[in-house]
Structure 1
């Protein structure tokens, strides 16, 4: 579009790229609506949840103000930053998950393959087994006998958990609980304030009213507590209260530094710049927190892994050692 291409031609070029069939079908419908005289924003809005409120708001503002090309460029950059932010959160959990899977695999190998081969030898000799060995044998027998029930129960519990999360009060209660768990609270604040600050700053740069910008940003956040409190804040803003004044009532969600920066921005007319700074600040805080969390989890998981594997290994080795000692003594 910056090269002078009409909107329809730009969409046609994107449509002919190697994209998913579902998205290609969506673009076909958007192009059909544009041919029928609808605006680009209205065409996107007709696609339901395919395009978010943030996306549609920026497009609508761009069409109204004649800055559509610039807004689409902003949108591209901001969506890229949001994608990188999600990628950082996911990648931070990869190593702990790998360690957890490795622990489960080693335990399964010992319990289901090694133990069944050596235990008959002890039973035939009538040797007195250590308590740790008896615990492992009992656990192995129980899992072997009821593994289908255990697997079904685990799958059922997971499905039930996912269904419960669809119930808004339960999801809200879970998200509220996050603020009482120190590490999760820190990550929750960093993610949500980084996203909120970035979205509001971009919308303000495009000319959106602050009330609408806060409303759009609230609907983009995943955390239900932040969404509810920000929606309450938009009501206060419509009544003439300042942003900082509406945030100060929720110190658990909005740290004093964040509120102070917003207040200074409102008083000096630099709110957009201050929000851009806050977005960068909380993104860096999140990056640092994720690195620290990964560094902290690594030795803890290795220790847990060592204790579990060591316990099972000792349960196997101890009776073998006792048996060889008794044979040697005889």
Structure 2
């Protein structure tokens, strides 16, 4: 073999090696994208379907082919295809699952244990059972929070609709009443004016803000600890969360230990399964302590917040199970005990939250009702006081010597020789329009804070002297003047 042939073979090997390296980089990049795109719901569905199909005795290749066809997303189809390719190449199933980085360590640990011990069916059944339990726990929390969330959302929507469309129509009526408005009514008028002018921007922005607030408090991993801290401060809700986590810990950790899964992997899997960061961090600390050689009893006594997360009675059962070598059985009993308490707590929580929500809604309705009714009571009181003044003031009759005939200023004598008198119509004349209340208040100053002088009725006409800031000064029949709101005035030509 000459040097040229050897050189060509080396070049070919380097080319194949480079091509393989490029292909592996492409695969890793696609797997990284798939980890982001595949949702938790889709991963759980894959685990459930894989466990059911494997338990039926179907071959592994056929199972993966069926799951690939049923997958709705490109990312999941690519991952399943990658798994099938590696399994056909002789790679262990658990190792292939681990390379994808899509499935949890808990699932991979049980699959590895099943492959190595020949009890794959039992391991997958255990996975399926625990996943169903996890779905039950999550649904109980959602069902407990569904009713208050619905009531609060509906109240918010009704409040926005009322403030945006109904309250602005009442503003004109309140202003035309001509009485001193109470503080709730002034606040209501100000809010309704703001809603009519800025509502098209404010209310959509408010909805977006609330949605983002919910996302960062309860969904986003880095900040949802704040939301969980708030939930732990709500009476009833904190108890439900504690019972759910204790039931999850007992059943989840107990079944793993009974299935001979090592304690460190079991604690790591429990930390991944927990939905609440406070408990997840607690399980991580417990894992680190056990890894460093501490017993569970020592680890529980190490942290001052343990009593808030784990009741003393539960700690005693865990410690007793650890000392007797029956920790798995003790944890399963704890899980069953708190599983039954969850149903009772969920019902009690709904009963507790219902009156609280009703009181909140009632207070909102009461404030709006007071803001609307209080001006009407003030108006009725003003009419009563005005009527009392009219009834108590008796006119003094004029004697014949006191009778004076007043000649209107509008009458001008054009000719003294013929004594012809020609009246000239006034030019500053206005008419009172309908107000909705049957009268219009006359005040001493051009403001709703002015003293109430009298009241005039629609269709009456008056001469006016001047106009100022939408108010007109008119001549009254008793020779005095007063101011009326120009909203309900029509200028006559």
* TM-score, normalising length: structure 2: 0.59
How many Å apart are 1:78 and its aligned residue? 1.0
State the match for 2:420 in structure 1: none
Moved more, 229-238 or 269-278: 229-238
Residue number among 41, 64, 67 corresponding to 2:119 in the alignment: 67
Residue number among 55, 67, 77 corresponding to 2:107 in the alignment: 55
State the match for 2:168 in structure 1: 116
How many Å apart are 1:80 and its aligned residue? 1.0
State the match for 1:196 in structure 2: 249
Matches for 1:23-62 after TM superposition, within 5 Å: 23-48=76-101, 50-62=102-114
State the match for 2:273 in structure 1: 220
Classify 1:65/1:8 alpha carbon distance in 2 versus 1 (closer, same or farther; 3 Å): same
Contact 2:168 2:196 in 1 (8 A): no
Classify 1:317/1:218 alpha carbon distance in 2 versus 1 (closer, same or farther; 3 Å): same
How many Å apart are 1:314 and its aligned residue? 3.0
State the match for 1:286 in structure 2: 342
User: In structure 2, the residue corresponding to 1:5 is in which secondary structure?
Assistant: coil
Classify 1:212/1:120 alpha carbon distance in 2 versus 1 (closer, same or farther; 3 Å): same
Contact 1:106 1:309 in 2 (8 A): no
Structure 2: how far apart are the matches of 1:64 and 1:167?
35
State the match for 2:194 in structure 1: 142
Residue number among 302, 311, 314 corresponding to 1:255 in the alignment: 311
Unaligned runs of at least 5 residues, structure 1: none
Residue number among 115, 126, 135 corresponding to 1:83 in the alignment: 135
Moved more, 62-71 or 288-297: 288-297
How many Å apart are 1:325 and its aligned residue? 7.0
User: In structure 2, the residue corresponding to 1:127 is in which secondary structure?
Assistant: coil
Classify 1:201/1:167 alpha carbon distance in 2 versus 1 (closer, same or farther; 3 Å): closer
Contact 1:248 1:254 in 2 (8 A): no
User: In structure 2, the residue corresponding to 1:93 is in which secondary structure?
Assistant: helix
Contact 1:194 1:280 in 2 (8 A): yes
* TM-score, normalising length: structure 1: 0.85
How many Å apart are 1:81 and its aligned residue? 1.1
Structure 1: how far apart are the matches of 2:82 and 2:374?
70
Moved more, 1-10 or 32-41: 1-10
Matches for 1:88-237 after TM superposition, within 5 Å: 88-147=140-199, 148-149=201-202, 151-152=204-205, 155-156=208-209, 159=212, 162=215, 168=222, 175=228, 183-237=236-290
How many Å apart are 1:192 and its aligned residue? 2.4
Moved more, 30-39 or 182-191: 182-191
Classify 1:97/1:158 alpha carbon distance in 2 versus 1 (closer, same or farther; 3 Å): closer
How many residues are matched? 327
Q: Report which structure shows greater RCO (CA 8 Å, sep ≥6).
A: 1
Unaligned runs of at least 5 residues, structure 2: 1-53, 388-493
Classify 1:20/1:257 alpha carbon distance in 2 versus 1 (closer, same or farther; 3 Å): farther
How many Å apart are 1:180 and its aligned residue? 5.8
Contact 2:231 2:238 in 1 (8 A): yes
How many Å apart are 1:227 and its aligned residue? 2.8
Classify 1:117/1:229 alpha carbon distance in 2 versus 1 (closer, same or farther; 3 Å): closer
User: In structure 1, the residue corresponding to 2:307 is in which secondary structure?
Assistant: coil
Moved more, 77-86 or 260-269: 260-269
State the match for 2:371 in structure 1: 315
The structure whose Rg is larger is 2
Which structure is higher in strand share? 2
User: In structure 2, the residue corresponding to 1:251 is in which secondary structure?
Assistant: helix
Structure 2: how far apart are the matches of 1:177 and 1:111?
29
Kindly provide the CA deviation profile for residues 200-245 of structure 1, in whole angstroms up to 9, marking residues without a partner as x: 2222232211122112212332333333332232233234433233
User: In structure 1, the residue corresponding to 2:309 is in which secondary structure?
Assistant: coil
Asked whether 1:275 is paired with 2:331, we answer yes
How many Å apart are 1:69 and its aligned residue? 0.9
